[in-house]
Amino acid sequence: MRSRTAALSVVLALFAALLALAAGAEENRPANGSPFDERAALAFSQSVVGKPVGDYVFTDQEGQRVQLSRFRGKPLLVSFIYTGCFQICPTTTKFLVKAVSAAADALGEGNFNVVSIGFNLPFDTPSAMRVFAKQQGITAKNWEFLSPDPASLEQLTKDFGFLYYPTPKGYDHLIQVTLLDPEGRVYRQIYGDAFELPILVAPMKDLITGMPTPAGKLSAFVERVRILCTVYDPNSGKYRLNYALFIELFVGATIIGAGVLSLLSEWRKHKRALARGG
């Protein structure tokens, strides 16, 4: 009798344990049933940093074919959106508008490009992307909204480290903006529906100031100096010119120039003395 009671106790204990495990698994499962795992998505996103993105072909808002390589030569910001989203995508895009505006003030609108790509095919058509851009009030000349080809969508999102899963309410995915360097490699991933502006602008500044200045173009050199002297003011939340850096650069250049002139003068005196002695 005791052995039967003990055996029954063991069975009941095992049954209770199984129920607890099942309940725990159900509790940790997303309510919408999506397999989205934020940590795995973040690891996948980071795994593409430093890698090149393929030269994909898109259709722009006007129905024209556009190759990704067209944007090479300058830093490129890329965001993935779907036009049927009524909350997250509009909210994050509106914040990106603010960040892009700050970047344009600090770096110059012509020094970088922005692309938003619709991934919900076949619904993110060129006309749908055009309407979405208009709804967000985006008119920047360096910002385009593109629709990818269905056949290339899977590899495209892999190249950008972008995972997404359908749910009854839309899609689960990381909110990320990808920064490509001028050669088309993933340089930085920026996450969140809002972030401190230097997180986006600082790496863009590094890329732009690291680019070679066209030979003989004084305007390009002056623009590079202006960018270097632009700093973020946390009190105003905006970028501004740091005139102290201008003064330091001017003083430094003056000292160096004076030193070079002095050396040239001494060299000429020495050369004339040698000529007289000969």
Contact criterion met (CB below 8 Å) for 190 and 108: no
Contact criterion met (CB below 8 Å) for 180 and 76: yes
In angstroms, the CA 110 to CA 34 distance is 41
Residue 216's pLDDT is what? Answer: 52
Residue 31's pLDDT is what? Answer: 42
Place of tokens 């003011």: 233
Residues 6+ apart with CB under 8 A from 88: 170, 175, 193
Ordered by where they begin, the domains of the chain are 38-223 (3.40.30.10)
Phi, psi of 209 (to 5 degrees): -70, -20
Place of tokens 């009524």: 86
| pLDDT per residue of the chain (278 residues) written in tens, 0 to 9 | 444 544 444 344 444 433 333 333 333 334 445 678 999 999 999 999 999 999 999 999 999 999 999 999 999 999 999 999 988 999 999 999 999 999 999 999 999 999 999 999 999 999 999 999 999 999 999 999 999 999 999 999 999 999 999 988 899 999 999 999 999 999 999 999 888 999 999 999 999 988 655 545 555 555 555 555 555 556 666 655 454 444 555 555 567 766 677 677 677 776 776 767 65
